[in-house]
Structure 1
Amino acid sequence: MVERTRQLMQANEELRREIGERERAERKLRGVQEELVETAHRAGMAEIATGVLHNVGNVLTSVNVSSNLAMEKIRKLGVQDMVKVAQLLEQHQDDLGRFITEDRRGRHLAPFLIDLSRYMVQQEEEIIAELKSLQKNIDHIKEIIAVQQSNARITGFVQEVNLSQVIDDAIQINAASMERHRIVIVREYEDLPLVLVEKQKLMQILINLLSNAKHALRDCENPDKKIVVRLKRLGTDRVQIEVQDNGMGIEERNLTRIFAHGFTTKKDGHGFGLHGAALHAKEMGGALVARSDGPGQGAVFTLEFPFRAVEKLKRGEAEQRRSSRSESSQTPALA
């Protein structure tokens, strides 16, 4: 009996030791997982920031082209010719009539001024067009920076958002690059009310998906490059955003691997973007999946997450407050 008790105590001690070691291992594993998630998030944010800088760089290239063209046209505007005409008129201001009618240079003055005025009007129109293009590109840079600053200020907070506007902001950040690669963006939005969502995470997902679609189209031979972005409600409690491209497509064996940390098929890729997007989707209570009919057949990335309409939640809170007040008024007073 004593021996049996000793064996049980020894077994219990070993079991406690094993449980302790397992708990320590689990804590260590959780720490590693949290560190991996944080690393992926930071890498994803860095990738987005790099993408934003890349798009700003693309727009700045257009700004540089427009400013150089405008400068060249100003140099050729004909101002020096006007100065020469003014000098001739000044030299002959005392005999202007004779100069214009009898002098060879004077007789050519009127036709020259007519041609010069027409040329200057044309140059002016072209300069104005370049300046308008310049202003448009500068405004585009301001919009990209404003969207990024707005996105950077809101970290980990649930807020009221218009999903269509969030998608448009993500498209705006990539707009210059899309235009440069002649990619057409098609929007198919269902009219939805304001929802509660973590805007920053949603923005990061969308920017990564659009960037991924852009790269898939950039590397393909399809002359009709197109990205379709769809927004719709699923039932009463889910919302779905799809980003579809007609680009390179995805091999079946890679449809799940593309979301793994470090996996990439891009020559200059790091494998953080889609991995971080999938993590964000999971943190939002949703999921991100990909489907494709194979290489050359394009791809569709589908994001689903809970649909929490602001108006519905506010009505629920108001009804709860009214119910609480009603219950309070019916509680009998103590004698």
Structure 2
Amino acid sequence: MIEVTGLTMWYGDTLAVDDLTFTVKPGLVTGFLGPNGAGKSTTMRAILGLDVPNAGTALIEGRLYASLHRPIHRVGALLDAGAVHGGRSAQAMLAWVARSNGIGSGRVAEVLELVGLARVAHKRIGGFSLGMKQRLGIAVALLGDPGVLIFDEPVNGLDPEGVRWIRELMRSLAGEGRTVLVSSHLMGEMALTADQVVVVGRGQLILDTRMSALIERFQRGVLVRATDPASLTRVLREQGAGVDEEGIGLSVTGLDASEIGDLAYANGIVLHELTPRGASLEEAFMELTRQSVEFR
């Protein structure tokens, strides 16, 4: 697991992370969400020992990153896809990292194939697009076959096929029992990828919950179409529900879909549609972080 406890980080007079506590569990993709300046990248750097906190701890498997033996075999990370030597080829860069960590050349070929760079393995990285550099950074993160993976905005620069590929990769890695922490500003993609959501704003924890629970929390009611909408409206209002006409149907609040279905059945009313309407992750995120946006 990744365990962040009471993490506090100052940069001069700026409080970047403020007493932040959360846990990232294995077997799940955890989305790390927040507006610009929320402290996401700073927290990831603290987890990886790149920045030293003023207070609190950020542990991997119960230990500081710096104390891990051969950490590349325990933790893989991509924080900045552009932090590469442009004059080297993808093959040469991976071979250098592999050799310095006791990893065989066969694994280099394997991860290049996995991230889709096998055909350009001998081309210089300086000529790569941002999407190709993202794939290369993911290859480096996977090189040691680690159980913990941390990705900061890995979808940036990827085309639609690449976005779908990384979504499936993240979910397959978590499905193998690995711990996966990924930050992103693409809410629609996170809604399809993440199982757990940690939302931060101005360095503080706003919410730590399952994705399904977050969407349910911002449910917009239930859309109902019935053969006798007038009778259904009367029955639902008698139970304290709010009912409004919406097109050819009814918008119902105060009762969930199963309760509405049971009441319709008990009163002999035939339903043609019964659709719960949850807010999108983007809508939920905007509502949660409304007071934490740095630039309006």
Q: TM-score range by the shorter chain?
A: under 0.3
TM-score (norm 2): 0.22
Greater share of residues in helix? 1
TM-score (norm 1): 0.20
Higher relative contact order (CA 8 A, sep 6+): 2
